[in-house]
Amino acid sequence: MSSLSASETVETVETAAAAEATAAPAAQPAAKLVEKQMEKRLAIKVEDLHLYYRTKAEANPTLKAALIRKAKRQKVEAKVIKAVNGVSFEVPHGTVLGVIGHNGAGKSTLLRALSGILPPTQGRVEVRGRVSTLLALGVGFNQNLTGRENIVLGGLAQGWSKDQIREKENAIIDFADLDTLSEGAIDRAMKTYSSGMYARVAFAVGVHMDPDILLVDEALSAGDARFKERATEKMLELCENARTIVLVSHGLETVRHMSNRCIWLDHGNLVQSGDPDEVIDAYIEKQRKDREDADRKKAAAEAKEAQEDQALAAKAEKTKEALQKAIGEDV
């Protein structure tokens, strides 16, 4: 679980606004005022965001390779992976933003930047409000502590009072509802949990942190159908209270059902953003076309291979005939 210092980002925006007000104190053009009002309603503002990872080119260096490199005084080349390339978008408070895209499109990386885990390589990320992050693996839990102990730890990290912790602890445990899966599990070390049990506790903690902005990365994928339904209801309830949710998922129907805005990432680029039905339909159509293209390429390659086989067989036949002629007997 990670939280971002909301006050810091808000302060940046207000400081900029104050400076502008000093420069032009009196009448401001109506368009400017409207823009400012809109600006205030924003929960997230992402401007020309680039996120790169630097990795060593050699994934599994061998001792021999390392020794040769050392002898030649060569350095291991750093490889830059451009996970997100100049993405810009805005999210008003009360939005459920679905983020879709192929494997490796940059969705989780974007979410890491929104949660503050990953600083931008270039560009700006402004997140205004208390953030709660639900990552697929429930990052932040101590595996050796029990579910209950992790809940208390999460509360302490949020600065809750003893009474608040006691009150929320029960609500979280009720919501996670682990007893129906395995009695007494909440008092066992989390390393003994199944991925579904883990997801339940992570989700229950995340939504009870009373976040303004909830970032969800496939955290529901491990939950069973009943839990997913309850989690969806809870997220919609949060949203009715003008909370903002960013939902990264391959579950296109979940995104269609839950979100009221959607962005589609492809190789780190923002392909389309807007109405979820339109964006999801366009994405499905692109996937269909890609599959068709791949099938066509495969069929063409197979046809070419068959042709080459035929040509080779014909050539072999001719060679055999020529040999027969030359020596006048069967070979």
Ligand X SMILES: Nc1ncnc2c1ncn2[C@@H]1O[C@H](COP(=O)(O)OP(=O)(O)OP(=O)(O)O)[C@@H](O)[C@H]1O
Binding site for ligand X (CB under 6 A): 53, 55, 81, 83, 101, 103-109
**87, 235 in Cβ contact below 8 A?**
no
Separation of alpha carbons 214 and 236, rounded Å: 12
Q: Which is nearer to ligand X, 221 or 232 (CB)?
A: 221
Q: How far is the CB of 271 from ligand X (least distance, A)?
A: 13
Q: Which is nearer to ligand X, 102 or 256 (CB)?
A: 102
Q: How far is the CB of 78 from ligand X (least distance, A)?
A: 11
Q: Which is nearer to ligand X, 58 or 174 (CB)?
A: 58
Q: Which long-range contacts (CB under 8 A, 24 or more apart) does 274-279 make?
A: 276/98, 279/98, 279/100
Structure-block tokens of residue 135: 């990552």
- Neighbour tally for 250: CB within 10 Å: 13
Q: Which is nearer to ligand X, 40 or 79 (CB)?
A: 79
Q: Is 116 left (phi over 0), alpha (psi -120 to 50) or beta?
A: left
Q: Which is nearer to ligand X, 15 or 55 (CB)?
A: 55
Q: How far is the CB of 265 from ligand X (least distance, A)?
A: 6
Q: How far is the CB of 252 from ligand X (least distance, A)?
A: 12
Nearest to 109 by CA among 260, 248, 274, 253: 248
DSSP helix, strand, coil percent of the chain (3-state; round to 5):
50, 20, 25
Q: How far is the CB of 106 from ligand X (least distance, A)?
A: 5
Separation of alpha carbons 268 and 251, rounded Å: 19
Q: How far is the CB of 55 from ligand X (least distance, A)?
A: 5
Q: How far is the CB of 311 from ligand X (least distance, A)?
A: 40
- Neighbour tally for 70: CB within 10 Å: 9
DSSP 213: E
**119, 49 in Cβ contact below 8 A?**
no
Q: Which is nearer to ligand X, 178 or 247 (CB)?
A: 247
Q: Which is nearer to ligand X, 94 or 251 (CB)?
A: 251
Nearest to 99 by CA among 281, 252, 267, 277: 252
- Neighbour tally for 167: CB within 10 Å: 14
Q: Which is nearer to ligand X, 135 or 165 (CB)?
A: 135
Q: How far is the CB of 135 from ligand X (least distance, A)?
A: 11
